[in-house]
Structure 1
Amino acid sequence: MSFGISSIATILCRSGEKQQQRFDRDEDGILSLRNWVTLEKCDVVACESTSDFWVPIHDSLIKHLSFIVGNARDMKAFTHKKTDKIDSEVIAKLALNGMVQPSRVFPISHREYRSYIRLRRKLVQKRTDIKNEAHAILAPEMFNLKDVLTDIFGKNGREILSGICSGKNVNQILQNLSPNVRKKSAQIRELLDKEISQSAAIRLKICLKLIKDFDDSIEHLEKEIFNHAYENHKREMEILMSVPGIGELGAATLIAEIGNFKDFASGDKLASWLGLVPNVYQSADKYHNGRITKRGPKGARWILTQIAQAAARTRNSKLKEFFNRKKKSIGHAKAIIALARKIATIIWHLITNDEMYEDETGYVKGEGQRRKIVETEIFSVDERISIISEIFAIVEKKKPDI
């Protein structure tokens, strides 16, 4: 089965008989597809994992017959032509001969949890872009607030920036700052004596509003993320957070992206699935290791890299000693990837054996502050319909006039 604007399905028999049909990618089309493959008594349905197009079809058919989701990159190795019809027939041939390696398909509830994690990461990236834009607005104005404050988008930084945009005087701005920052009042007064242009003030005000909106959305997502994590994976969270470099968000992200650690026979298998192992090329008796495969989920690989960066800075830990040894021979960047792979194998061992991390060097991880579990907001049917209506209204508004 191949996906375009619609879905093309091909049925192949051992006798060589072939049938091919196109189905709309909507509820009626998926129902027609299900009726067709069940009427023809198909033994297995296979498709490529193109974006999330396969999800509604998989969820509709999986209760009725065997369904395989294959890696799209693997499918491309068997054909040099690229049309939906050819793709559909190639996938059918591979499935008929048992040549489609099934991908891991998480349960619906876990996919929803993972979608929170991935959306949060995208929002954080967007927020960073807006913060960078705000820095770019302030730079030509010679308004060097970062020389006074460590984080210009913290509580005090936003108070100063929003005060400037709304036309407050210096005394009004200073009285709303924290006592520690007011100690630098002389520097702040000198800075606020400078005027910024009207254009800069307008753009900066918009940036601050967007950052506030992103903060609120990220906070809301984090409530959902940690509610699910502590309600369904409390023990895994405790184990993961005992490892140097892994915090609460890192643990929740690893659980979301990896799912059931026991699906893997070993830590090396997990590292391979995550794409943290090198490509291997062999010619005659010569082996050559290339770059890492990067075949697994990007989110898991990214968070493990961030965790490795933190672990490499952790004092008195075996992980830091490992990083320092590797760094001498292969350099900083490769040593971080090597450490990320090592952490992947360690967390597989800890979770599959239900053990907490212990360090021979005497490293003890301090207790971090845990998130409070709050009641999840439940939307009624009417509220869900209202949300969908608002989305359609926005889409219609964006359509250009003809």
Structure 2
Amino acid sequence: MKPVEEFPRIIERGCGLDVHQGTVVASIKGKDIIERTETFETFTEDLERLVCFLQNEGITHIAMESTGVYWKPVYYVLEEYFQILLCNARHIKNVPGHKTDKKDSEWIAKLLLSGLLKGSFIPREQIRQLRDLHRHRRKLISQRTAEKNRLQNILEDANIKLSSVVSDVFGKTGTAIIYALVAGERTPKKLAGLAKGSLVKRKAELEKALYGRITEHHTFMLQLILSSIEYINGQIALIENQIDKYLIPMRGDVELLQTIPGVSAQIATGILAEIGNEMEHFPSHKALASWAGVCPGNNESAGKKYSSKITHGNKYLKTTLVEAAWAASHSKDCLMAARHKAIAARRGSKKANIAIGHKILTAAYFILRDKTPYMQSSQNKNIAEQRRLKKIERLKKQLRNLKSVSLN
């Protein structure tokens, strides 16, 4: 009696890779080939031997887990020769108690041949490099913010209450005073004389705030932190120049994305760095929102709905969309701002930011797909007007009720 296959075969010949830092375990399966497993090291020369091995066996498709950063060099060597599915590790877990490198690679190969795997989105090389630059820029900005916080802690330790008077310690006035302190100036009146703009009228307050106890240790720490901030600023400037070079062929896309409320040039760059400008990789705007992790999840059992919180998704894109949503919520004559206010009143500002971020990403999808600017439809304007009229009626009703209560 002929044995029954567990799953119908969709791909003729495939390979499952279990990737580690030092080794790659490859299992091949398919039509008219001997199923076997080989182990290769991850040096470039060994990966090229892996390419020859797979080509000699007639392999056309490869599936692999996205294991940390270790999958990247393997993917870059193999992508020229094979069709590769990079899969989320959570989607291809094997049966518990049966975990070895060989069994993992065989399981991945079996799922691949059966057509049960869905590959992750891997942008083209130019977008990958832009993504690296943009993410590194965000990390440098976080490092600079941490250094600025440390500097303010040093000032507080010296009882210099500059932040109590100056709204931006690192504005023109604050920066001039800090550099004067590092240079050895201690007289509050001379330090207050560095005030610029509206702070000129608050020199008396500045003098009082700048009377502290600065030691040699404080001066050393301030100088050290300032040099660190200057270095980070230089690194950010270099990265931004490099980003501008990558954006030259996508300048039109950046301008189109800026037509969306809340989307600045920097946010548009962040969106393009994460999703690229070719929307054919995503079947629909819903698939893109699911990939980004800004749409509700599904969790239902026995007819009962449980938590529908958002999924993990792309944390860098999600952060960028939240920034855009917060900016859009402060825009004037904007339906997104009205929508944000309505959701925030019922469910809080955090959920409102995610909801508006979802709308911004949907708009970005259609703008990049159709290469047309964002336009607030007349239907949306009518909805906004209807909401305004309903609010007026609701407030009038509340006023009438209050009048009736006061008369009684």
Q: Same fold (TM over 0.5)?
A: yes
Structure 2 residue 68 is the aligned partner of structure 1 residue 76: no
Q: Take 1:287 and 1:39, find their aligned partners in 2: how far apart are those partners?
A: 51
1:87-114 CA-to-partner distances (Å, cap 9, x unmatched) read 3232222223222211121111211111
Q: Take 2:308 and 2:359, find their aligned partners in 1: how far apart are those partners?
A: 18
Pair 175,326 (structure 1): closer, same or farther in 2 beyond 3 Å? closer
Q: 2:333 maps to what in 1?
A: 316
Q: 1:279 maps to what in 2?
A: 297
> For 2:113, which of 96, 103, 107 is the aligned residue?
96
1:345-367 CA-to-partner distances (Å, cap 9, x unmatched) read 122223322222233588xxxxx
Deviation, 1:175, is: 6.6
Q: 2:66 maps to what in 1?
A: 49
Q: 1:366 maps to what in 2?
A: none
* Contact 2:126 2:246 survives alignment (8 Å): no
Q: 1:12 maps to what in 2?
A: 28
Q: 1:264 maps to what in 2?
A: 282
Structure 1 segment 228-377 matched on structure 2, within 5 A: 228-229=246-247, 231-259=248-276, 260-295=278-313, 297-359=314-376
Pair 84,184 (structure 1): closer, same or farther in 2 beyond 3 Å? farther
Q: Take 2:162 and 2:246, find their aligned partners in 1: how far apart are those partners?
A: 39
* Contact 1:4 1:84 survives alignment (8 Å): no
* Contact 1:8 1:20 survives alignment (8 Å): no
> For 1:198, which of 201, 211, 216 is the aligned residue?
216
Q: 1:400 maps to what in 2?
A: none
Identity of aligned residues (%): 27
Q: 2:44 maps to what in 1?
A: 27
AA at the equivalent of 2:285: G
Equivalent residue of 2:312, what SS? coil
Pair 137,240 (structure 1): closer, same or farther in 2 beyond 3 Å? same
Pair 73,186 (structure 1): closer, same or farther in 2 beyond 3 Å? same
Deviation, 1:282, is: 2.3
AA at the equivalent of 1:302: T
Q: Take 2:170 and 2:136, find their aligned partners in 1: how far apart are those partners?
A: 22
Deviation, 1:80, is: 5.8
| Between 62-71 and 6-15, the greater mean CA deviation after superposition | 6-15
| Between 206-215 and 41-50, the greater mean CA deviation after superposition | 41-50
Deviation, 1:172, is: 6.7
Aligned Cα RMSD in Å? 2.4
1:55-89 CA-to-partner distances (Å, cap 9, x unmatched) read 22222222222222111221236556555444323
* Contact 1:23 1:29 survives alignment (8 Å): yes
1:313-351 CA-to-partner distances (Å, cap 9, x unmatched) read 212210011112222332222122111111111222233
* Contact 2:25 2:37 survives alignment (8 Å): yes
Q: Take 1:7 and 1:98, find their aligned partners in 2: how far apart are those partners?
A: 26
Structure 2 residue 217 is the aligned partner of structure 1 residue 217: no
Equivalent residue of 1:116, what SS? helix
Q: Take 1:202 and 1:227, find their aligned partners in 2: how far apart are those partners?
A: 39
| Between 330-339 and 88-97, the greater mean CA deviation after superposition | 88-97
Q: Take 1:23 and 1:245, find their aligned partners in 2: how far apart are those partners?
A: 49
Deviation, 1:179, is: 5.5
Equivalent residue of 1:13, what SS? strand
Equivalent residue of 1:139, what SS? helix
* Contact 1:134 1:207 survives alignment (8 Å): yes
Pair 88,145 (structure 1): closer, same or farther in 2 beyond 3 Å? same
| Between 300-309 and 216-225, the greater mean CA deviation after superposition | 216-225
Larger Rg over CA atoms: 2
Q: 2:53 maps to what in 1?
A: 36
Deviation, 1:10, is: 2.3
Q: Take 1:177 and 1:86, find their aligned partners in 2: how far apart are those partners?
A: 70
Q: Take 1:214 and 1:155, find their aligned partners in 2: how far apart are those partners?
A: 19
Pair 338,179 (structure 1): closer, same or farther in 2 beyond 3 Å? closer
Deviation, 1:116, is: 0.5
Structure 2 residue 104 is the aligned partner of structure 1 residue 87: yes
Deviation, 1:241, is: 0.6
Q: 2:137 maps to what in 1?
A: 120
Equivalent residue of 1:358, what SS? coil
1:282-304 CA-to-partner distances (Å, cap 9, x unmatched) read 22333345210122x21111100
Equivalent residue of 1:252, what SS? helix
Structure 1 segment 133-144 matched on structure 2, within 5 A: 133-144=150-161
Q: Take 1:79 and 1:97, find their aligned partners in 2: how far apart are those partners?
A: 21
Q: Take 1:188 and 1:175, find their aligned partners in 2: how far apart are those partners?
A: 9
* Contact 2:27 2:105 survives alignment (8 Å): no
Q: Take 1:4 and 1:128, find their aligned partners in 2: how far apart are those partners?
A: 35
Deviation, 1:44, is: 1.6
Equivalent residue of 2:213, what SS? coil
Structure 2 residue 204 is the aligned partner of structure 1 residue 186: yes
1:142-172 CA-to-partner distances (Å, cap 9, x unmatched) read 2111123221123332221122122135477
Count of paired positions: 360
* Contact 1:278 1:292 survives alignment (8 Å): yes
Pair 149,77 (structure 1): closer, same or farther in 2 beyond 3 Å? farther
